[in-house]
A and B are shown apart, each in its own frame.
Chain A
């Protein structure tokens, strides 16, 4: 399977702990996105990378959240000092540089975080 891969699929953590999620995009996709989805809502933009450069980060995103894509391939999303409100599905997506015919993003299966 050469789709977007996310690890772990599920994570349960205690409030106050740090967690890190990994995303492996489709090979040679330049762009990588992180989204958060809570129950009953659509995905909410967190941040995106073009190669190794983080081009935009949501203004709604707490500074407890940080993301990296050090070599322009896989990416990690870290949440420090987790809170119960961080419980959500964290989705990663990737896409090639957009052209007229190729603008969609491809999503991984997500990491479901539960903070207890």
Chain B
């Protein structure tokens, strides 16, 4: 069975500080991993993905994520947070043509 865990319901960070949003996964076979962001009353917006290759992937708006196979993790990171990054972030794994999402982490960036 495949599953995604986001252990933190909420992450608070000050503007300008680095941020990390955690994600661990369980999937049979090679994982296809994704991060999406959701603003209030909006759909999900694709940020980045890991398919194969370099463990550090870069995406939109300065975000990046690090794939760690031994820890089955795919943490989202950004070196310097912006207030406008405040939103709901979802980690997802794709398996057998379907996306499985975590429960989401609310990121609060304070000025």
Which residue numbers of A lie inside 8 Å of B, CB to CB? 4, 6, 31, 33, 35, 40-45, 48, 55-56, 91, 93, 98, 100-101, 103-110, 112
Contacts and interface: CB of A to CB of B under 8 A. Distances in A.
Contact of A55 (B36, B46, B97, B104): B97
B43 A4 contact: yes
Given A4-B43, A42-B90, A107 B36 contact: yes
Interface of B: 4, 32, 34, 36, 41-46, 49, 51-52, 90, 92, 94, 97-104
Could you tell me the dominant secondary structure of chain B's interface residues? strand
Contact of A104 (B42, B46, B101, B103): B46
A42 B103 CA distance: 4
A91 B44 contact: yes
Given A40-B103, A103-B32, A103-B49, A45 B98 contact: yes
Nearest to B53: A100
- Which of B43, B51, B101 has its CB near the most chain A CB atoms (within 10 A)? B43
A43 B93 CA distance: 12
Contact of B51 (A42, A44, A45, A100): A100
Contacts of A103: 32, 49, 51, 94
Contacts of B101: 42-44
B97 A109 contact: no
Given A6-B43, A104-B34, 10 more contacts: A4-B43, A33-B99, A44-B101, A45-B98, A45-B99, A91-B43, A101-B51, A103-B51, A107-B46, A112-B41
B75 to A, nearest CB: 17
Contacts of A31: 97
Contacts of B90: 42-43
